[in-house]
Structure 1
Amino acid sequence: MNADLIRLGENARRAAGALMVAAAPAKNAALEAIARTLEENAAEIFAANAEDIAAGKASGIAPNLLDRMLLDEKRLAGIVKGVRQVAALKDPIGEVLHAETLPNGLIVSQMRVPLGVVGMIYEARPNVTVDAAVLCLKSGNAVILRGSKDILRSNICLVKLMRQALTEAGLDPDCIALVEDPSRETATAFMKLSGYLDVLIPRGGAGLIRSTVENATVPVIETGTGNCHVYVDKDADLEKALPILMNAKTQRTSVCNACESLLIHRAVADAFGPAAVKALLEKGVVIHGDETARTWDSHILPATEEDYYKEYLALELSVKVVDSAEEAIAHINKYSTKHSDCIVSENYTTVKKFLLGVDSACVYANASTRFSDGFEFGLGAEIGISTQKLHARGPMGLTALTTYKYVVLGEGQVRG
């Protein structure tokens, strides 16, 4: 076993023991210290990030992925705002979820408690470093972060500053730790850190998620991969449909809640399809379409089975014409990653059928999939968007980083 990882694990386990009983004011003071420290050291953060961006450009990283790596004044201000939003949230730890007095006089209740030590393995986004750290801190969990090598300098700087803030606030700095070795071997060893990690949360592309699920020996919460759909129904308000589609596809392409596939009911295909394709092509979107869609413009490429499964994370989209809402639902359930999917329709019955029938973490009627986000859902920052069903699903805020224990109060009862 990797000695450095064991040391991180032992330190995090110790820190978690103290953090789980820390009072809310102490945690909130530490969060404010983190926000203030990040603000005061913005120049240092930007300098570290600039080195990552320069190295990324030199190694040929695609522009849309470079965008995910970038920290500027606006994004850092958003990160700091998020820290303070988390501090303002109600502390979930110690909340009594249910209590009941049994016939024998025992009072049995469920109390919300931290998970313990959270392992976070992720790609490309330095904002995740701060979001994950502060959510874990507020929910009473220690966290060990393992970002990708592309943002290593940014992560080292951010974690150093957060640990400095914890020390100033009187909390153990090992509540937040970073795996600084970016090698694949260390990543695999991190996934097997049983006895130290209580849960492992991967956030990134399909390859990272698959590798984590296949290699981890600790419980995993899958997040991130987003092959999201917009379905334009025969009863859609087409004036609503086009802005929803364009926002979902082109507002920001490198995120997991961006639309990757457009489905159109055949009854409105010729009314909506050509106009939608024109708007998409004007934005530089590469379109892969079925036979019907390809009649609308000569620039549309043939869609393959692989295209329908693909999360492009770029100005690229698959398009398919369907004969019914039922066909749209079946297509989404087959090809999607169960992240976020939308129907545009004014027919209440069809909308209800779609919302019930599509097996995804977030389902929308007449709104862009880009709203799948902890901030937008009012959760404060999120640690990821879970696409699985056990423990947590959808944007994961504070309560998703907790479990519960039974607390039983008695007056001398013994079991007969």
Structure 2
Amino acid sequence: MGELLEKAKLLKAASYQMAMLTEKEKNLALEQIADALLSNIDFILEENSQDMEAGAAAGFAPPLLDRLQLTEERIRQMADGVRQLIELTDPVGETTEKWTLENGLNIQTVRVPLGVIGMVYEARPNVTVDAAALCLKAGNAVLLRGSSSAARSNLALAKVMKAALQTSPLPEDALQLLEDTSRETATEMFRLNDYLDVLIPRGGAGLIQTVIKQATVPVLETGVGNCHIYIDDSAEKDMAIAIAENAKLQRPSVCNAAETLLIHKDWPHRRALLQSLFDKGVELRGSADLTAECSFMKQAADEDWHTEYLAPILAVKTVENIEDAILHIQTYGTKHSEAIVSENSEQVNMFFRAIDAAVLYHNASTRFTDGEQFGYGAEIGISTQKLHARGPMGLRALTTVKSLVEGTGQIRH
């Protein structure tokens, strides 16, 4: 625990300095980080190549190796992402409410940094830069804990960014990477309430559940996406097909891709939709009535309704009515993103009222659940919980508020 505690103490002290910085000072530091990334491309790629060699030797699947790999283009994209943050308005100091009481007290609530954020993430070294830049822009100190599979890549990126901070207005200690990736140290990190203000896990269901179950530090839960598309009997054919295909295929390996398709039993274009999905390479796992009707479909097992495939696989089921669709989503959904395709406003309103999820869509793909797509410019993750933040979490989600009260000598009687 030596490394963890030492770095946690440095972060706590740095967080007090971070809260005092101006937007101009933070932006200058981000500019220097972006420049440093570009100046150290060769070093970063060399370190990443060693992670890639180790991953290949360990038999990592191609999708995991792709997430792990850095290229010159990807590093340039990371630097561009940091520069895009500079263009975003700093939420710190923003007045969210303001009012005056009858006794003359003036009260306002203003945004302030969360403090020290612990990021726990898997495989993707780009998260090292994205998370650090977002946290720093919102005035937070950040402890990064990546996975052992990307250890050298993460360390290289952290070294480059920390070197950039040495000549910036920001305290260098505000950014720390936990080099010890053991489970024991991770467990200690999850319970470091005296130094960490919040934990944000990013990764698969196993990682997220581990953090939620083991942490005593408050967790901003970024959730698994078992997302559904419900096609109502009034749905327009071409629109429904386009939305279903986009939600499944535009990028299957992400949390806002659709995993289950629910189709009203009276929608007349069911066969055309399923045939189109199959022709585009989607493996379809359907309910018994569908497999009897479509020879190219496989029989769905109960586990298929629970599964986040993150692959071109889709569970499909016919439902009797919208109530049946709602019950299915309430049973199997993960409160991430759910969509209805319908021309019936009453059915849409029922869907919107009944479904408990971070984001609900009418006649649009679930793939829009994303900070950049929502206009936030960037995101730290997508929250499926209900406290503090929900949905795509941009800079404002990395702040909290405090109340400022101005008086003229008032005392309480």
- Is residue 412 from structure 1 mapped to residue 402 from structure 2 by the alignment? no
Work out whether residues 240 and 341 of structure 2, in 8 Å CA contact, stay in contact via their aligned partners in 1. Answer: yes
Q: Give the corresponding residue for 1:110.
A: 109
Change (3 A) 1:77 1:325: farther
1:1-400 to 2 correspondences below 5 Å: 2-268=1-267, 271-272=269-270, 274-400=271-397
**Which segments of structure 1 move beyond 4 Å, counting only runs of 4 or more?**
none
Q: Distance in 1 between matches of 2:66 and 2:318?
A: 32
- Structure 1 spans left out of the alignment, 5+ residues: none
Q: Which of 385, 399, 404 is the matching residue for 1:402? A: 399
Displacement, 1:327?
1.3
Q: Distance in 1 between matches of 2:205 and 2:67?
A: 16
SS of aligned partner of 1:319: strand
Work out whether residues 64 and 314 of structure 1, in 8 Å CA contact, stay in contact via their aligned partners in 2. Answer: no
Q: Distance in 2 between matches of 1:224 and 1:45?
A: 30
Change (3 A) 1:281 1:63: farther
Displacement, 1:116?
0.5
1:92-130 residue CA offsets vs partner (Å, 9 max, x unmatched): 111111122222221111111111000111112222221
Displacement, 1:337?
0.8
TM-score by length of 1: 0.95
Q: Distance in 2 between matches of 1:172 and 1:254?
A: 37
Q: Distance in 2 between matches of 1:338 and 1:75?
A: 31
Change (3 A) 1:360 1:193: same
Q: Distance in 1 between matches of 2:217 and 2:191?
A: 6
Change (3 A) 1:301 1:202: same
Work out whether residues 65 and 254 of structure 1, in 8 Å CA contact, stay in contact via their aligned partners in 2. Answer: no
Displacement, 1:262?
0.9
1:164-202 residue CA offsets vs partner (Å, 9 max, x unmatched): 111121321121111111211111111111101001111
1:244-268 residue CA offsets vs partner (Å, 9 max, x unmatched): 2222112222211111111111112
SS of aligned partner of 1:382: coil
SS of aligned partner of 1:97: strand
Q: Distance in 1 between matches of 2:197 and 2:159?
A: 24
Change (3 A) 1:235 1:65: farther
Change (3 A) 1:60 1:286: farther
> Greater shift after overlay, 390-399 or 299-308?
299-308
Q: What value does the CA root-mean-square deviation take over the aligned residues?
A: 1.6
SS of aligned partner of 1:221: coil
1:16-53 residue CA offsets vs partner (Å, 9 max, x unmatched): 11001101100000111111111222232233333323
Displacement, 1:207?
1.0
Work out whether residues 68 and 254 of structure 1, in 8 Å CA contact, stay in contact via their aligned partners in 2. Answer: no
Q: Distance in 2 between matches of 1:115 and 1:344?
A: 39
Displacement, 1:73?
3.9
> Greater shift after overlay, 354-363 or 16-25?
354-363
Q: Distance in 1 between matches of 2:227 and 2:393?
A: 18
TM-score by length of 2: 0.96
Displacement, 1:352?
2.2
Q: Distance in 2 between matches of 1:75 and 1:253?
A: 20
SS of aligned partner of 1:295: helix
